A and B are shown apart, each in its own frame.
Chain A
Amino acid sequence: MMEAAAHFAPPSLSWRAVSVWRRNFMVWRKFAIPSILGNLADPMIYMFGLGYGLGSLLPQALPAFGGGSYIAFLAAGTVCASTMNAASFEALYSAFARMHVQKSWDAIMNAPISLDDIVLGELLWTAAKAMLSGIAILIVIAVLGLTHSPLAFWAIPCVFLTGLAFAAPGLIVTALAPSYDFFMYYFTLFITPMMLLSGVFFPLEQLPTAFQAVAQVLPLTHAVALIRPLLFGQVPDMAWLHIAVLATITVVCYWIALGLIRRRLLS
């Protein structure tokens, strides 16, 4: 019991996390271009397929879509969903590979770096990588003329925050995973339903009220509520509330993930 309390002791945060971040960046840099293009392909297929295909069936300038085209509405949702996916893949598959398969974290702990530093470094790296994938889509959106407002630049820190809010729960799953197969449950039970319930493809208001209530506790809902207005050139309603929800998810899940990872690796 004492041990359990020790594992869930508060994280000790330090700048040493940067060297872990930097290690991952150094690996990413070797394959940066294919990695960005690879991350871009999937969301682009959805965005153009649904945006132009489905969008052409819909009347233009529906109030439900913020008064713009469906593709502009969908594009903003795609930025959020793609950030979520990028963060989840990194925090699950890639972090698991480093933790469990390659034993990279064990090696780092032989140096003067603590597990707290490692997990913080992984969290920040995952969010940064997800942000890069979000920015790539933002650039496509801007080039296509689907956003015009300088407020869109504010979407970048929001994308980073979204990355954090998905990196941290992802690390919890990684901490518990016996093998890669385990991750499928997280994607099918959590990530995919969230994509449909958070206002990515259609406005939340279209859902039955019970589902709308569920949507309020999903991180992706808050990411969409922050980022879509910014791309439309509006200041989001209740921005601080959405920021606070995403930040709280990050902190609480990081703490839990760290406790579980300490228990897994430091026993």
Chain B
Amino acid sequence: METLNQPLVVTDLHKRYGGREVVAGISFALARGECFGLLGPNGAGKTTTLRCCLGLTGPDSGSISLVGEPIPARAREARARIGVVPQFDNLDPDFTAAENLLVFGRYFGIDDAAIRARIPRLLDFAGLSSKANAQIRELSGGMKRRLTLARALINDPDLLVLDEPTTGLDPQARHLIWERLQGLLAEGKTILLTTHFMEEAERLCHRLAIMDEGRIISEGTPQALIAEHIPVSPSPLRPSNLEDVFLKLTGHELRD
């Protein structure tokens, strides 16, 4: 039942680099069908947490269960049911947009006929139908991001792990991605997302965790976090929002 209802359970995760603990004992769990957001300043440990969850790096301690599989022991099996959008695009520049989807589908062991049947739908989903035969270098940053999202869906995953999916996108492209992600949630998919856009977190995420220096310093629904931390708006001209919460909890200083 855990598999079905909790696609990801992280318990007391620790990860150190050099002498520094960049993930310092975090725990959280995703409920099926929800969108869970990990927020935090640069260097908070978000990407490292996601890499641990996907079995791409070994944690120093703690336990992770991803779609019911223990990580890192059975990470490969778990990833068959996951779609990943990494923080930095790594589309294959040796292939066209459509070929990228074909080749990636093969990594999942999906047969060519089934992949080819999915490609037009995925390109359409990403608004890239006219770019099927374009080389990756011919795509704009936003187009690449959308193609990466389409690629993450090639295996019809149960859980999507999205590391800053809309960074570098213009408002139109960002709104398109939000719409698409809402559609995926409506289909019953679960999403784990990191973002630096508070508006994105407020719109998409059912629940959020705010990370700083490797720890989760607050967790809850966007509304609950706002009500808890900023009961009175700092400005009389607008209601308090998630950005106020974020800055209050993580400070105004730039992170190095």
Residues of A within 8 A of B (CB): 3, 6, 16, 19, 22-23, 26-27, 102-104, 106-114, 266-267
* Secondary structure of the A contact surface, majority rule: helix
What are the residues of chain B within 8 A of A26 when measuring CB–CB?
Answer: 95, 99, 103
CB-CB under 8 A for A112 and B79, given A3-B58, A266-B57: yes
Q: Name 18 extra pairs, CB < 8 A, besides A111-B155, A112-B107.
A: A19-B106, A19-B107, A23-B92, A26-B95, A103-B88, A103-B90, A107-B86, A107-B90, A107-B91, A107-B104, A108-B107, A109-B56, A110-B86, A112-B79, A112-B108, A112-B109, A114-B75, A266-B57
Q: What's the least CB distance linking A116 to chain B, in Å?
A: 10
Asked whether any CB of chain A lies closer than 8 Å to the CB of B175, the reply is no
Report B's interface with A, CB cutoff 8 A: 17, 54, 56-58, 75-77, 79-80, 82, 84, 86, 88, 90-95, 99, 103-104, 106-109, 152, 155
A112 and B103 contact, CB distance less than 8 A: no
Q: Does B90 lie within 8 Å of A104, measured CB to CB?
A: yes
Partner of A110, one of B54, B57, B106, B109: B54
Residues of B within 8 A of A102 (CB): 90, 92-94
A22, B93: Cβ atoms closer than 8 Å: no
Q: Which residues of B contact A27 (CB under 8 A)?
A: 94-95
Interchain CB contact under 8 A, B92 and A110: no
B190 shortest CB reach to chain A, Å:
17
- Chain A neighbourhood of B88, CB < 8 A: 103
Q: Closest approach, in angstroms, between the C-beta of A74 and any C-beta of chain B?
A: 36
Residue of A nearest to B79 (CB): A112
Set of chain B residues within 8 Å of A23, measured between Cβ atoms: 92, 103, 106
B77 contact set on A, CB distance < 8 A: 112
- Closest chain A residue to B72, Cβ basis: A266
- What is the distance, in angstroms, from B118's C-beta to the closest C-beta of chain A? 15
Out of B58, B91, B93, B108, which one reaches A111, CB within 8 Å? B108
A261: min CB distance to chain B, Å: 13
Question: A111 to B90, alpha carbons, bound, how many Å?
Answer: 13
Q: Report chain A residues within 8 Å CB of B56.
A: 109, 266
Are A267 and B57 neighbours in the complex by a CB distance under 8 Å? yes
Q: Name B85's closest neighbour in chain A (CB-CB).
A: A110
- Bound-complex Cα distance A267 to B51 (A): 10
Q: Pick the 9 closest A-B CB pairs, nearest first.
A: A111-B107, A103-B90, A110-B84, A112-B80, A107-B90, A27-B94, A112-B79, A112-B76, A19-B106
Chain A residues with CB under 8 Å of B58's CB are 3, 6, 266
Residues of A within 8 A of B75 (CB): 114
Cβ-defined contact, A104 with B92, below 8 A: yes
Residues of B within 8 A of A111 (CB): 79, 104, 107-108, 155
Bound form: Cα–Cα A69–B81 in Å: 62
B67 to chain A, nearest CB (A): 11
Give bound CA distance, A108 to B58, whole Å.
Answer: 18
Distance between Cα atoms of A111 and B107 in the complex (Å): 6
CA distance A133 to B132 in the complex (A): 33
What are 22 of the A-B contact pairs (CB < 8 Å)?
A3-B58, A16-B109, A19-B106, A23-B103, A26-B103, A27-B94, A27-B95, A102-B93, A102-B94, A104-B94, A106-B90, A110-B82, A111-B79, A111-B104, A112-B77, A112-B107, A112-B108, A112-B109, A114-B75, A266-B56, A266-B57, A266-B58
Query: How many Å lie between the Cα of A252 and that of B75 in the bound state?
Result: 26
Q: B86 near A106 (CB under 8 angstroms)?
A: yes
When chains A and B are docked, how far (Å) is the Cα of A108 from the Cα of B93? 13
Query: Nearest Cβ distance between residue B219 and chain A, in whole angstroms?
Result: 26
